[in-house]
Chains A and B, each alone.
Chain A
Amino acid sequence: MCLAVPGRILDISGDDPIMRTGRVDFGGVVKEVNLAYVPEAQAGEYVIVHAGFAISTLDEAEASKVFEYLREIGDLDELEVGDDAVY
């Protein structure tokens, strides 16, 4: 039910803030999405879409955190256990 999918905004139309709509590309499938809740979002940016609404913008700077965290815990591990490290 709470499934929400990231897609890239192709273009934006609608002057009325509550009707602000964008065409959003989900890996080749393009859908109309209401952008009223992400007034800051611009064409070219990624938004998280649920039930026809963008509920959040995707912060690309944060997107690699999952991998950075993994590297950090791997590095800590190396410090602690020396040659018995993950890598």
Chain B
Amino acid sequence: MRFIDEYRDPEAARQYAEALAKITTRPWTIMEVCGGQTHAIIKFGVDTLLPPQITLLHGPGCPVCVTPVELIDRAIELAARPDVIFTSFGDMLRVPGSRTDLLSVKAGGGDVRMVYSPLDALKIARLNPDKQVVFFAVGFETTAPANAMAVYQARQLGIKNFSILVSHVLVPPAIEAILSAPDCRVSGFLAAGHVCAVVGFEEYYPLAAKYRVPFVVTGFEPLDILQGVYMVVKQLEEGRAEVENQYSRTVRREGNVPAQALLREVFQVTHRKWRGIGEIPHSGLALRPEFAAYDAEQRFGLAGPGVEEDTECISGLVLQGVKKPHECPAFGTRCTPERPLGATMVSSEGACAAYYRYRRRELFSDPA
């Protein structure tokens, strides 16, 4: 496909890797905070092309992985109700709650439907006026405009049997949480291209200045990622800590202004709990009071205390870049994509699932 295939050219990738090896004189640790980039790095083996001094860490870039377990439990509770059609993106369905998952609810007779867009959920609501249709609104800034528009259209069109269960999280506050941790090892960041396509990259300038780390807005194909890493390393080697844009074919500095306007109208910033990490201030979105009628937690009276997770899953450490997936004793044995202990093994964009899918053989045959 045009604008995809050309960015997978192996010869250009080799040249980028060679150029990178030439400018790298010291060890550097670079973090991407986007499950799509994590997936591409492992799938195409981008990390295996890098000089040995460069380590890529996979940050909390998968919204499915960081959705707190009590919210999954609330989704499960809703999906089990006979008056509810529960709609969701496919990758939420197998995420384990504290006792079961959405797919099991569906197998037990719950009306759980996978949709491609929240507008599909809105359509289901129009076609089923005698049911309550709930959409599981999970995602980063990239997905928020779609969910904001679904709620906005529901109000415009007078669709009253539609609501959303909101678990929206924001990337820059999570990056700041990682940078301010005393044991932070990250020397530079690849900023997630599609998040920046929506909100722009102004927010990274104060972070780059405060913590003296480079940020490079980066795309999702192998050549994008190699160029992004090159640009970060070049800054590090030259002692710079600036914000640069590798993904200029898609991202403008100011982002998507009409999308931001609707986001501000429908959502407001709130504190959010991240699975495996804990609460991060101002790190999520919630519906504004004017749209409270479309908030599933309020409509069904679901808010309540959270539950503590009790498993051997170390996904919190993986998400913060402290551990690699295969350093977990349960990886590939007691924890697999078929029987996941934690969300990083469930979503195809979770670091554990990516390592399991593409690296399992070499990891288990290599005693190191």
> Which residues from chain A sit less than 8 Å from chain B, CB to CB?
1-6, 8, 18-19, 26-27, 34, 36-39, 46, 48, 50-53, 55-56, 58-60, 62-63, 65-67, 69-70, 73-74, 77, 86
Contacts and interface: CB of A to CB of B under 8 A. Distances in A.
Nearest to A87: B15
Nearest to A27: B1
A49 B283 CA distance: 25
A36 B4 contact: no
A56 B16 contact: no
Given A50-B194, A63-B249, A37 B116 contact: no
11 contacts: A1-B138, A1-B140, A2-B139, A37-B262, A51-B139, A56-B198, A56-B252, A66-B227, A73-B19, A77-B19, A77-B22
Given A37-B258, A66-B227, A70-B16, A51 B249 contact: no
B231 to A, nearest CB: 8
Interface in B209-245: 220, 223-224, 227, 230
Interface residues of B, number: 57
A3 B146 CA distance: 13
A36 B149 CA distance: 9
B34 A2 contact: yes
A86 B19 contact: yes
Interface stretch (B96-104, B117-125, B267-275, B292-300): B117-125
Nearest to B1: A27
B142 to A, nearest CB: 4
Nearest to B234: A73
Contact of A2 (B16, B18, B35): B35
B73 interface: no
B35 A1 contact: yes
Main secondary structure of the interface of B (DSSP, over half): helix
Contacts of B197: 4, 48, 55-56
B55 interface: no
B195 interface: yes
A50 B167 CA distance: 18
A55 to B, nearest CB: 5
Given A50-B194, A55-B142, A62-B248, A70 B19 contact: yes
A26 B4 CA distance: 11
Nearest to B40: A3
B251 interface: yes
B249 A65 contact: yes
B337 interface: no
Contacts of B16: 70
A16 to B, nearest CB: 9
B145 interface: yes
